[in-house]
């Protein structure tokens, strides 16, 4: 069992009333904020801060020897990064304004509300953590090297944009805050997830669940589990993925498609670090880190009312936007050769060499499917090589240079002796595009430079004509 205290730096409880200090300590310990130090004499606080920095100070105003107002000003001057929450019996507007102007993070009146105090403490600790993290990020991004490049060995790249992402991951990996990873389909978000988990040093498992299409009941059971008898078929208890990932990382793929009721339950996990298994009234704690991925526009979904803003802000503590392959074209040839070597090894053949012209055409393609599309193209090329057919022409969409009947290179279209009608030419062109695109209309449309609707209309017209001719 880990003996790490939380927070790492202690919370100072400064009040000359023992009962108040004791009640605050019990409240904080119950909320898993057990690293506290009590001070009855305000004169001891500044020397103590010089020896041991605090994460937070809970400060009374009406004390002997030194007033709380004076101590607040001293802390604000010498340790401006340490948040101070004033907890006092003085309930006047003038005093509250004075404290806030002189650096107090919050002002609470005794007898304090427990939930209000805990909320204020958590917000103060979170703000301080983010401020410290920003300093680490700045320092790291100014450094051109990675401390642990082995954490990213599974990511093939020479892109400066991805190098910056790797540096950012090294800074945030060891923290507990959620991470939101965005990017188009096929860009490699799952590899970024793996890098975050590896770099974090977390001993727990990395578990993933695609939340798209899960209704609220299925989401709750998958993530949080249930107790025996929670529903008709629940003949035994089941632990959800949150518990399976204790001390590790939970990945929620396609978070933009999560239902609104499920979003509320996830929000509780992020805010309180606890969840309720189905059929249980006793909340369970979790220290699993939440990483969410999406290719959806979450801003648009917020505007449409299908994604909660508070959940978005919680998930967005750290955000990584993985750029599409067309924005890092320097990686295309590198990745293509990597995939060629990988698949050639699997099939037991020498790695085929890509012609320079083919590489140039690859780099000029849109590659809307990103790395996933490029990988599929290289698998097809290696398979063709294995079969003894041309590897870098055909359904990869990059045709070889045509050859005329006399053997000379031809830069135009080869026509048969009997010329086709315009309609036959168009139908043949569409058919060839569909063949190269493996029957996918959107890909065929891109090859021809027309819309998908246009190619669908042409295919329907041809089909209707063929059906009429066969009658």
| CATH code of the domain containing 456 | 1.10.10
Do residues 72 and 214 both lie within one domain? no
Do residues 124 and 156 both lie within one domain? no
User: How many domains, the chain?
Assistant: 4
Kindly state the tokens that stand for 84. 């101070």
Do residues 74 and 164 both lie within one domain? no
- Give, in order, the Cα–Cα distances in Å from 360 to each of 65, 338, 364, 369, 445: 78, 17, 6, 18, 21
What is the model's pTM?
0.61
Nearest to 104 by CA among 58, 158, 149, 67: 58
Do residues 88 and 56 both lie within one domain? yes
Instruction: State how far the Cα of 231 lies from the Cα of 13, in Å rounded to an integer.
Output: 46
Containing domain of residue 182, as a range?
143-323
Residue 26 within any structural domain of the chain? yes
Instruction: State how far the Cα of 460 lies from the Cα of 466, in Å rounded to an integer.
Output: 10
Do residues 57 and 81 both lie within one domain? yes
Residue 98 within any structural domain of the chain? yes
Residue 178 within any structural domain of the chain? yes
CATH number at residue 352: 1.10.8.60
Q: What tens-digit pLDDT sequence spans the chain (471 residues)?
A: 344 567 888 999 999 999 999 999 999 999 989 899 999 999 999 999 999 889 999 999 989 899 999 999 999 999 988 999 999 998 899 999 999 999 899 999 998 999 999 999 999 998 887 777 766 666 655 556 788 889 998 999 989 899 989 999 998 998 889 999 999 999 999 999 999 999 999 999 999 999 998 899 899 999 998 888 777 777 788 888 999 999 999 999 999 999 999 999 999 999 888 888 888 888 888 999 999 999 999 999 999 999 999 999 999 989 999 999 999 988 999 999 999 999 999 999 999 888 887 887 888 788 889 999 999 999 999 999 999 888 886 444 443 444 444 434 444 565 666 777 888 888 888 888 887 777 778 777 777 878 888 888 888 877 666 555 544
Residue 407 within any structural domain of the chain? no
- Give, in order, the Cα–Cα distances in Å from 342 to each of 26, 157, 394, 397: 58, 15, 21, 22
């Amino acid at each position: 069992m880990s003996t790490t205290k939380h927070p790492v730096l202690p919370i100072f409880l400064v009040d000359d009333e023992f009962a108040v200090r004791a009640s605050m300590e019990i409240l904080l310990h119950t909320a898993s904020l057990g690293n506290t130090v009590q001070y009855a004499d305000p004169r001891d606080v500044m020397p103590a801060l010089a020896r041991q920095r605090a994460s937070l100070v809970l400060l009374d105003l009406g004390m002997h020897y030194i007033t709380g107002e004076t101590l607040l000003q001293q802390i604000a001057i010498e340790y401006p990064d340490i948040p101070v929450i004033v907890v006092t019996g003085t309930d006047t507007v003038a005093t509250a304004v004075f404290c806030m102007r002189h650096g107090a993070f919050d002002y609470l009146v005794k007898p304090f509300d427990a939930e209000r105090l805990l909320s204020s403490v958590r917000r103060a600790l979170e703000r301080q953590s983010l401020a410290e993290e920003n300093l680490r990020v700045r320092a790291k991004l100014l450094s051109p090297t990675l401390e642990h490049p082995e954490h990213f060995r599974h990511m093939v790249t020479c892109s400066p944009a991805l190098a910056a992402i790797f540096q950012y991951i090294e800074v945030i990996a060891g923290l507990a805050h959620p991470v939101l990873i965005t990017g188009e389909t096929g860009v490699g978000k799952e590899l970024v997830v793996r890098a975050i988990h590896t770099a974090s040093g977390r001993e727990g498992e990395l578990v993933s669940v695609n939340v798209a299409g899960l209704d609220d009941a299925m989401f709750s059971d998958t993530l949080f589990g249930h107790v025996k008898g929670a529903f008709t078929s629940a003949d035994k208890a089941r632990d959800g993925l949150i518990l399976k990932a204790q001390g590790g990382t939970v990945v929620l793929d396609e978070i933009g498609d999560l239902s609104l009721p499920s979003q509320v339950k996830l929000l509780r996990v992020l805010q309180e670090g606890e969840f309720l298994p189905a059929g249980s009234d006793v909340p369970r704690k979790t220290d699993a880190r939440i990483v969410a991925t999406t290719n959806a526009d979450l801003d648009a979904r917020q505007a449409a009312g299908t994604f909660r803003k508070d959940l978005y802000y919680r998930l967005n503590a750290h955000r990584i936007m993985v750029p599409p392959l067309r924005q890092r074209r320097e990686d295309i040839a590198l990745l293509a050769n990597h995939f060629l070597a990988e698949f050639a090894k699997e099939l037991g053949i020498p790695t085929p060499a890509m012609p320079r012209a083919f590489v140039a055409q690859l780099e000029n393609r849109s590659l809307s499917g990103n790395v996933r599309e490029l990988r599929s193209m290289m698998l097809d090329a290696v398979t063709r090589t294995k079969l003894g057919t041309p590897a870098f022409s055909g359904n990869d969409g990059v045709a070889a240079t045509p050859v005329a009947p006399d053997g000379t290179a031809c830069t135009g279209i080869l026509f048969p002796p009997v010329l086709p009608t315009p309609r036959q030419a168009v139908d043949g062109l569409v058919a060839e595009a569909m063949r190269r695109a493996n029957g996918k209309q959107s890909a065929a449309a891109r090859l021809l430079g027309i819309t998908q609707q246009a190619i669908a209309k042409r295919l329907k017209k041809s089909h209707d004509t063929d059906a009429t001719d066969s009658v």
